[in-house]
Chain A
Amino acid sequence: MSTKKNILTIENLSYSYQNGEHTQKVLDDVNIKFESGKIYAIVGESGSGKTTFLSLISALDKLQEGDIKFNSKSLKKITGQEFRLKYVNIVFQSYNLIKYMTAAENVEVASDFDNRKVDPNKYLEKVGINPEEGKRLVGKLSGGQQQRVAIARALASNSPIIMADEPTGNLDEDTEEKIIEIFRDLAHKDNKIVIIVTHSRRVAEKADKVLTLRRGKLS
């Protein structure tokens, strides 16, 4: 297990949407550092820019102003595809699994693009999915199990940063509790930077640090 301190730095990050002639600034000069070994919850009202923030720091969207650095590596210096491949993995509310693959195959896909060979069952077992369940097509699994598979995939990707966008939004309370525990383990045991965008009070309470996004500012 790596104990190296990784830092994700957000510098002067601003982002605007053009709505006809009107420009709407959703992020306004955001500056923050995320450290490995911690779980962060980002909360805010709907439309406050949470998803935009997540898209930018996971390199799903292009930077307009400011910079994002993983340790000293600037996102401006590499492509979004490379940044996603090397540094970040995202867990979505709707799981985003590939339907024609089994749970194990979905986990294996995470290592498809960096030429690593992974044992999917090792990661599935970590999130409570046994090898038999791992052989089932993901469509045959429950919502909670699918979200666990998505997290197992994030684990298998070996990314130092795990982003999660409303990861428990579709889950019942018991399952939500278990999923939060997995994320906590990812941060505290696997030394990942875990950033969760959420509306859930329970999720926010379990985070090491809660950040609120309001009027484009993160505090």
Chain B
Amino acid sequence: MFKNMLKRSWLSIKRKLGRTIILTLIFFMMANLVLAAFIIKSAVSAQMDYAKSTLGGTVSIQADMDKIRENQEAEMKNGGNPGEMFKNMSRPSVDVKTANEIATSYTDYVKDYSYEVTSSANSNNLETVETKGFGGKMAGGMGGMPGMPGFGQDSSDDSTLDADITISGVNAYAYIDGVENETITIKDGTYFDEDSTDSVMVSYEFAELNSLKVGDTLKLKNIYTEKEVPLTIIGIYDSSEERADANTVYVNTETAAKFLSSDEYNSGNYDVDNVNFYMTSSDNAEEFVNKINEEFSELAENNLKVAVDTSEYDSISGSIDSVGSFANTILIIVIIAAVIIITLIVTINVKDRRYEIGVLMSLGASKKNIIGQIIAELLIVGTLGFTLASVTGTVFAGTLGNMILEGQTTSSNKQSEQNFGRPGASMGGMPSQKGNNSRSGAPEFPGDDMPNMKQAMQAGRGEEKIELNINAEPIDYLLLFVTGYLVIILALILPSVSIMHYQPKEILTGKE
């Protein structure tokens, strides 16, 4: 009986070709949208997970300016001398042992970490580039001019006053502030990493001024010990940042340590700046902060605070999440629309076939058998439409997903520009203060072979569009077919109720 039912269904599909084509097209269009929605949702989910792991967020240890200000205000209220206070003020800093201990104690949370060893050196007979505007050399302190004492720098330290080169020691080239947003690029030569001891990168202006090239030896003198440290120039960088200090040379941390005082160098425990811990997942960041605050309470006592920065993840997750929400909305609308449209078509079809149904009933067909035939017809046509959509759905999903994403990213960037002056900039139009977590673009960075992450980070800067990695998985096809068949079943409820109320006498004798 089932075979006969299928046979009648097949005959109806084959002989009523116009209706079959229309139904197939409807199923095809519906299935394309449903499949696209599922694929986009999967891609969004994968991208979010990926973003969580790759842009897991950064936890940095930095000066707690609010606390310092509060302390100052309290001291002033107690009759403190502002001049004396400024003189005695020390820059809160983390020592390298603490930074290392934190990183090695929480390997479940910390994927990588970086810090900066800052020092100064004299260049002997070499000329230095005249600094442009505010904030030239870092030598001698934070953000100070060459020869000016910085925050926490004792102005009586004459040796610093003579320094003309800033030594910036970071774990690897990728961690240099400015590499990610490409304000610093390699003009010649290569980059350094943790193993590139006694290698140095100099600025293009500095190299030009002193006719230096890659492979030359740069002899810099430790300002504390007067000892000369020969460094091999392995790269020449260029900076598009107007306020960049062309007299800054970049080395790895081990090399930078050679320009510290003898005491610091010998103890092996010197102060480091810009300590950043890169999280395995942004979800772990807050928990990690709590653990550091518990375990390393001395940080707070030294006016340091542990801060979370998940802005990169947040910036991309917002856009991607919107695409996911949009895909959900599409899915719901399409399912509702499909149920309504197919219900209408089947209802009209059943009405048209009222006579046929009456004939079948007069021959002894049960109503269930007749409904079964109509279900079988729709399932066959639906399967055809869904299968065709399986071929085109991935392409459609890719176009649709990235179109939505592009719209969303553009919208976010406009919002960002309105809020902060320019895309990707931090508040006030200042360059990103994320410090050394600037990682994409660094060839040696582990994530560099991960295009998604780079796209994500670029999107975070608002410079380039993110692209969803649209790939249909077997589960997407399964969901398409399950949803499609559910839509058919739902769409058949009303027509089936109508069939259940059919009386063969009314159909067959009413026609006479």
Contacts and interface: CB of A to CB of B under 8 A. Distances in A.
A48 B308 CA distance: 93
A94 B512 contact: yes
A212 interface: no
Interface residues of A, number: 33
B497 interface: no
B363 A113 contact: yes
- Interface hub of A85, A100, A115 (most chain B Cβ within 10 A): A100
Contact of B363 (A82, A105, A112): A112
B355 A81 contact: no
Contacts of B4: 112-113
A101 B15 contact: yes
A198 to B, nearest CB: 13
B505 A61 contact: yes
A207 B272 CA distance: 117
Contacts of A51: 509, 512
B133 interface: no
A84 B1 contact: no
A60 B363 contact: no
Contact of A97 (B1, B11, B359): B359
A58 B363 CA distance: 10
Contacts of A93: 512
Contacts of B504: 60
Contact of A84 (B12, B356, B362, B512): B362
Contact of B16 (A82, A89, A97, A100): A100
B384 interface: no
| Interface size classification for chain B | 20 to 34
B16 A157 contact: no
B interface, by DSSP: helix, strand, loop or mixed?
helix
Interface in A26-83: 51, 55, 58, 60-61, 81-82
A interface, by DSSP: helix, strand, loop or mixed?
loop
A82 to B, nearest CB: 7
Nearest to A91: B362
Nearest to B359: A96
Contacts of B11: 100-101, 105
B363 A55 contact: no
Contact of B508 (A81, A92, A109, A113): A92
A81 B366 contact: yes
Contacts of A82: 364
B178 interface: no
Contact of B359 (A61, A98, A166): A98
Given A100-B12, A113-B363, A113-B369, 16 more contacts: A55-B509, A60-B362, A60-B503, A60-B509, A81-B365, A81-B366, A84-B363, A96-B355, A96-B508, A99-B356, A100-B15, A109-B363, A110-B363, A112-B5, A112-B363, A112-B365
The 4 closest A-B CB pairs, nearest first, are A85-B364, A100-B15, A112-B4, A60-B505
30 contacts: A51-B509, A58-B362, A60-B503, A60-B504, A60-B509, A81-B364, A81-B367, A82-B364, A84-B361, A84-B362, A84-B364, A90-B508, A92-B512, A96-B355, A96-B359, A96-B508, A98-B359, A100-B11, A100-B16, A101-B11, A101-B15, A109-B360, A110-B363, A112-B8, A113-B4, A113-B363, A113-B366, A113-B369, A114-B364, A157-B364
